[in-house]
Chain A
Amino acid sequence: MKLPVVPQTAIALAVALGLAACGKEAPPSPAGQAPAGPVPMIVKLGHAAPLTGPQGHLGKDNENGAKLAIDELNAEHRKIGGRDVSFQLLSEDDQADPKQGTLVAQKFVDAKVNGVIGHLNSGTTIPASRIYADAGIPEVSPSATNPEYTNQGFKTAFRVMANDIQQGKVLGQYAVNNLKAKTIAVVDDKTAYGDDKAVDFKAILTTIKGKRPDLVFYGGMDAQAGPMAQQMKQLGFKAKLLMGDGGCTTEFHKLAGDAAEGNYCSLPGVPLDKMPGGPAFKAKYAAKYHADIQLYAPYVYDAVMVMADAMKRADSVEPAKFLPALAQTDYQGVTARIQFDDKGDLKDGAITLYQAKGGKWEPLETVGGGAPAAAAPAADSAAPATKY
């Protein structure tokens, strides 16, 4: 296997030299040595999420979050390794499809990105993570919550959100202890938080109703949860819906209409307004996009910032050099104070439970969550239901 590598490297070198030569021609002034040259070093960050299809609205929201971070980083005119750097976002549509996800991953590897932000779904993140691991490219997922992602032993896999084990535990405890549910029906969309186009759940709901559950747990996305809540109402259900983060969106209220009322959901992290940098982020986002944040934008923003922070501390944009720094992250982000455990999971990730009231998700209580670093905003104490 060694032989073919040599010519490839040679070609790559030749291409790199050729490009460098072109680069030198661009500025009119006599080109000096590479460091501190007038041409900024391009740092390529790959971003992958479903930008089309049923989750297109979530993917676009992620992309917006990433762009916001990139624009801010570029406005700072950072120097890394003594050179001006310019961050560039390569955003790709993985269609929430595992196959497409691996194709996108390969594309990023071929484009020699310095790091990857994504993917949105666990179903795409997990197969793609192997490709990034093989290429040694650090990956920070903003929203993949399947524990499998960081359980594969890859040194390159990180996430800035609590995983499903942490979330499931909190959901289960809440259902039994607070909601006093004895019989709980569990509906699984059988995708790894992925693409499901079904809209008719009456058959399965009718069967569930016959078993008289106190609570229905649905592990899927808002686009299905909305019609499901409506159909539960149409079938005369008394039991409420309890959902994970996929259903915990403003979209759910729109899609479920008045059937949204009284249902429960959980979200990793703390409510946007109670995030350390939440209100400021919300204002920035609204000013730039004239739209509301859908769901994960602040996490994507943090994922980009965490990666840029690791590059800064390592003083290098080389994946191999800043990867150890990434693992040592201690960064006060918009969403939380971000530190990773030895698997790449977010340390002490907070989970917040919500209930639908008057067309909005009202936070009920927050479980877990680390103490904010240094500049702790006083707003935290204003959250009466928050338990640490």
Chain B
Amino acid sequence: VPFHYSAVMNILLQQIVNGLTLGSIYALVALGYTMVYGILGLINFAHGEVVMIGALSSLAVVKSLLAVGVPGPLAALAGLGVAALVCTALGFTIERVAYRPLRQAPRLAPLITAIGVSIVLQQLAMLIWGRNYYSVPPLLPSAPHQVLGAEITDVQMLIVAVSAFTMIALMQLVNRTRLGRAMRATAENPAVAALMGVDANRIVSLTFIIGSALAALAGVLVSANYGIAHYNMGSILGLKAFTAAVLGGIGNLAGAMVGGVLLGVIEALGAGYIGTLTGGFMGSDYQDVFAFFVLIVVLIFRPSGLMGEKVAERA
């Protein structure tokens, strides 16, 4: 293959576009992890499964609406709406059933119930939807646009825009509103916040509801991007998003975005170039190794992540 400077640049640019999309997906899911962690100091390992439930329930709605002749965009919105309802109800219930009774328990206990909930949700989804892969009907044109030599689809642009917008909106919510102030107060010290008239239980419930609505959104976008949905899709995605949240500094909203995008770009560049760099010795299957290697290095030098603040242990 002859060496063309522009061709090489196009490939690099394409890889960055690939990474940016992948990373925005991670970021959107990571926001859910980071919000819950910020308030409760709890890692909600069931979050990835909520994303999956969002994807599958919206798909069920979209397919049945398309079947009766409802136009595509309308069906997509209805699907998103139903998914958001299902996921918020689910998030609310999970918190009430699996986390709230253990709020005073040692930290390990809710972590274990979180893993339990994620297994239950996955099996439940398998019972409802079966083991089949579902194809997602293309509601946006799948033909790519050429931008500076890179190919980008409508869904990809939508994903990047939606996650950036969501992050900004969440930051506004947390930093500028009454609810946000209550959230920050609860995060800082639930007991004192309660003395000031903040209903901590209500705040925690709302946090789970918002996080789960984001999960529904992420589920719809992920399944639209890859064109498939499956009961197993949440576990790897959840793990990657959790990694992104830790990389950016868990508990920090901007950090989730930075961590997600960074992880996506590292994965894309790693998978794209590792074969060439090692002369074929290592292949794109080392993509995950690459991502986790970067995570380890970052955590060695910045244990609280890239944008995480050093916080004293709660008394």
Contact B133 A204 (CB under 8 A): no
Instruction: Judge whether A255 is part of the interface by a CB distance below 8 angstroms.
Output: yes
Q: Classify the interface of chain A: helix, strand, loop or mixed.
A: helix
Binds B, one of A3-11, A49-57, A166-174: A49-57
| B272 CB contact (under 8 Å) in A54, A203, A223, A234 | A203
Once the chains are docked, how many angstroms separate the CA of A163 from the CA of B235?
Answer: 34
Q: Return the contact of B11 from the options A53, A197, A206 (Cβ within 8 A).
A: A206
* Beta-carbon contact of A199 and B226 below 8 Å: yes
**Could you say which interface size class chain B belongs to?**
35 or more
CB–CB B131/A251 < 8 A? no
- The segment from A71-79, A207-215, A318-326 found at the interface with B is A207-215
Taking a contact as CB atoms closer than 8 A, the residue among B18, B126, B228 that contacts A202 in the complex is: B18
Which residues from A are CB-within-8-Å of B156?
234
Pairwise interchain contact A202-B233, C-beta atoms closer than 8 A: no
B11 touches A199 (CB 8 A): no
Q: Is B7 an interface residue (CB 8 A)?
A: yes
B177 at the interface (CB under 8 A from A): no
B268 at the interface (CB under 8 A from A): yes
Indicate if the CB atoms of A255 and B1 lie closer than 8 Å: no
Chain B residue numbers with a CB within 8 Å of A251 are 132-133
Q: Within the complex, what minimum Cβ distance (angstroms) separates A216 from chain B?
A: 14
Question: Would you call A203 and B18 a contact (CB within 8 A)?
Answer: yes
Contacts of A233 in B (CB 8 A): 142-144
Cβ–Cβ contact A54 & B133, under 8 A? yes
Assess whether B227 is in contact with A52, with CB atoms less than 8 Å apart.
no
Docked-complex contact B131 and A57, CB < 8 angstroms: yes
Contact B142 A53 (CB under 8 A): no
Interface residue tally on A, bucketed by range: 35 or more
Q: How far is the CA of A298 from the CA of B200 in the complex (A)?
A: 60
Query: Given A207-B11, A235-B14, do A257 and B22 touch, yes or no (CB 8 Å)?
Result: no
Residues on B with C-beta less than 8 A from A234 are 142, 144, 151, 153, 156
User: A230 contacts B142, CB within 8 Å?
Assistant: yes
Write the chain B residue with the least CB distance to A251: B133
B residues near A257, Cβ cutoff 8 Å: 135, 137-138, 142, 227
The answer to whether B72 has its CB under 8 Å from any CB of chain A is no
Determine whether the beta carbon of A206 is less than 8 Å from that of B15: yes
Q: Once bound together, how far apart are the Cα atoms of A51 and B131, in whole Å?
A: 8
Cβ of A227 < 8 Å from any Cβ of B? yes
A123 to chain B, nearest CB (A): 15
User: With A and B bound together, what is the CA distance between A204 and B15 in angstroms?
Assistant: 9
Residues of A within 8 A of B284 (CB): 203-204, 207
| Interface: A60 (CB within 8 A) | yes
For residues 118 through 174 of chain B, which have their beta carbon under 8 Å from a beta carbon of chain A? 126, 130-133, 135, 137-138, 142-144, 146, 151, 153, 156
Residues in B neighbouring A357, C-beta threshold 8 A:
none
Whole-angstrom CA separation of A123 from B241 in the bound complex: 30
Q: Are B131 and A199 in contact (CB under 8 A)?
A: no
Please state if B151 and A235 are interface contacts (CB–CB under 8 Å).
yes
Report A-chain residues with C-beta under 8 Å of the C-beta of B235: 197
Whether B131 pairs with A52 at a CB distance below 8 angstroms is yes
Cβ of B212 within 8 Å of any chain A Cβ, yes or no, is no
Check A204–B271 contact: CB distance below 8 A.
Answer: yes
Chain B residues with CB under 8 Å of A242's CB are none
In the assembled complex, the CB of A93 is this many whole angstroms from the nearest CB of chain B, namely 11
Given the interface pairs A234-B153, A259-B142, the reply to whether A200 lies near B22 with Cβ below 8 Å is yes
B133: A residues at CB distance < 8 A: 54, 57, 223, 226, 251, 254-255
